[in-house]
Amino acid sequence: MDFPEMLLTPPRFYTGLAEFLGCLLFIIPSQKRFSRKVTALLLLVFAIVQILFQLLCGIMPLWFWVIGMITAVLIMGFFVLLISKYSLLKCIHYTLFGFIMAEFFASIEWQLYAFIFNATEGQSKTFDVPLMIIVFSALFSSFLFIELFSNKKYKDFEVSLVDTILVVFISLSVFTISNLSFLTQNTPFSTYNSINYIRTLVDLLGVAIFYIYRIYKVSFKMGIETQAMSNILHKNYDQYRQFQNTIEIFNQKYHDFKHQIATIRLENDSNKREQYLEELENNIKSLNVKFNTGNDILDNILASKGMICIENNITFTCVVDGFLLNEISIMDLCAIFGNALDNAISAVKKTSEIEKRVINVAVFAKDELVIIRFENYYESEIIFKDGSFITTKNDQKYHGFGIKSIQNIVSKYDGQISIDTNNNWFKLIIMLHK
């Protein structure tokens, strides 16, 4: 039995509007490239272009249908890439997700309309547009709430080339199966009055697959972070070994302190005695490697590097508000501070003058930014090449891959890096949004 032709597929206007809304779901939570006014204008242009293109496809012959759908997806992807700051692979992912979401929007709305049309024997044509507005508004609001609510959790959602290939395959499969009956009614899915039903179910399954895949990716990353935390706990033995080395340093300092105290007792000159006491106090302060920044992981990192600084006669000062970094993952926090401090320690150890062996670390808030600043003295020549810092004078590892690693991590948080090497003073400044 043939289907009523007008009930086989939603109007092209609805399809274009649904495709715009599908992309808008992922554009709204993203960081934008332009101001609000420019973004609003671009979104208006996007909506008009998408709808007009679908209207144009409606008057084209059937053979143009596949080309038209591919072009529609390309237009969606262009505007997502233009407006948002997503990477190219993320844009592909969210464009295809938005496309399947649009198919679901249009399909379920038209299924409801077909049901009302048949139930009333065609007497409810006037309810077409109001029904579309109600259904699209309800679906868009519901999914937008999900996206906004989960935006923080999915902020670190990463898309690889393999992920992109898989998503393209999923999208093609869902779209092909859901539209099989549209191309020909002679299919196992084309029983009477079931085309819209099958299409809606398949599109809904496609939306579910996208969400499940994204949840899996985020859960997998959380598992890696949990494993990283476990590895940190298992490093307690290494920390114990480090503390053993520190005890030896304490014993050496204690031996020095006894001689200093004996000297102070024999010294009659009050000025010299005061000078000796000040030196003694400074030596005692140098043994304090305990940090309380408000971030336990960061405290451990700083304490570990602080002990290395003591062993190498490096002055290590920290003014750090660790609470500002609680949103950064454990792995990323360890990588940023570990690489930056290892580079700094490696540089100042080569400085022959003890008073120039200085490393300063600061973390503070400024306006709407979190600033992480590392400073250290260096003597080797620094050369910037191919996105990395290299050096001469047998110091090829200094600020090389470590800096590149930090750059990659900071870009994940939409942050920026500034580096200054004037006057043999290396400054690495990381700026993150609160």
Q: Which of 260, 322, 261 is nearest to 297 (CA)?
A: 322
Tell me how many domains the chain contains.
3
Check whether residue 109 and residue 134 sit in a common domain. Answer: yes
Asked whether residue 182 falls in the same domain as residue 325, the answer is: no
Indicate the helix (H) or strand (E) that contains 384.
strand 382-385
Return the CATH number at 379: 3.30.565.10
Distance CA 267, CA 257 (A): 15
In this structure, what token pair is assigned to residue 303? 């304490």
Give residue 280's pLDDT. 65
Q: For the segment 390-403, what is each residue's pLDDT rounded down to a tens digit? A: 554 444 444 445 67
Mark whether 190 and 274 lie in a shared domain.
no
- Contact status, residue 322 vs residue 363, Cβ threshold 8 Å: yes
Q: Is the dihedral of CA 321, 154, 414, 338 positive or negative?
A: positive
Q: Is 9 helix (H, G, I), strand (E, B) or coil?
A: coil
What is the spatial distance between Cα 303 and Cα 291, in angstroms, rounded to a whole number?
A: 6
Residue 409, both tokens: 């991590």
For residue 154 the two structure tokens come to 């999915």
pLDDT of residue 370: 93
* Cα(341)–Cα(304) distance, integer angstroms: 10
Tell me what pLDDT residue 38 has.
95
Domain check: are 247 and 392 in the same one? Answer: no
Distance, in Å, from the CA atom of 53 to the CA atom of 49, rounded to the nearest integer, reads: 6
Q: What distance in Å separates the CA atoms of residue 166 and residue 93, rounded to the nearest whole number? A: 10
Same domain, 261 and 218: no
Question: Phi and psi at residue 28, in whole multiples of 5°?
Answer: -55, -50
With 0-12 CB in 10 A as exposed, 13-18 as middle and 19+ as buried, what is 386?
Answer: exposed
pLDDT beneath 70, residues of the chain = 1-9, 119-126, 152-156, 181-195, 222, 224-268, 273, 276-290, 381-402
Q: Do 15 and 118 share a domain, yes or no?
A: yes
CA 220 to chain centre: 15
pLDDT at residue 158, as a whole number: 77
Which residues, in sequence order, are CB contacts of 341 under 8 Å at separation 6+? 301, 305, 359, 361, 374
Tokens of 77: 């992807």
In whole angstroms, how far apart are CA 358 and each of 62, 132, 316, 351?
Answer: 73, 67, 6, 10
Q: Are residues 214 and 258 in the same domain?
A: no
Task: Give 131-186 pLDDT, tens digit per residue.
Answer: 899 999 999 999 999 888 877 666 667 788 888 999 999 999 998 888 775 555 55
Question: How far apart (Å, rounded) are the C-alpha atoms in residues 387 and 346?
Answer: 20
Three-state DSSP class for residue 420: strand
Q: Is 127 in the same domain as 224?
A: yes
The C-alpha atoms of residue 216 and residue 112 are separated, in whole angstroms, by 32
Q: Are residues 152 and 42 in the same domain?
A: yes
Q: Count CB neighbours of 105 within 10 A.
A: 27
Query: Could you tell me the residue range of the domain that residue 344 belongs to?
Result: 290-433
DSSP letters of 53-84?
A: HHHHHHTS-GGGHHHHHHHHHHHHHHHHHHHB
pLDDT at 168: 93
Helices vs strands, H then E, count in the chain: 13, 7
- Alpha-carbon distance 20 to 264, whole Å? 81
**Helix or strand or coil: residue 327?**
coil
Q: Which of 182, 207, 230 is the last residue of a domain?
A: 230
Q: Are residues 162 and 30 in the same domain?
A: yes
Q: Do residue 323 and residue 277 come from a single domain? A: no
Q: 148 and 204 in one domain?
A: yes
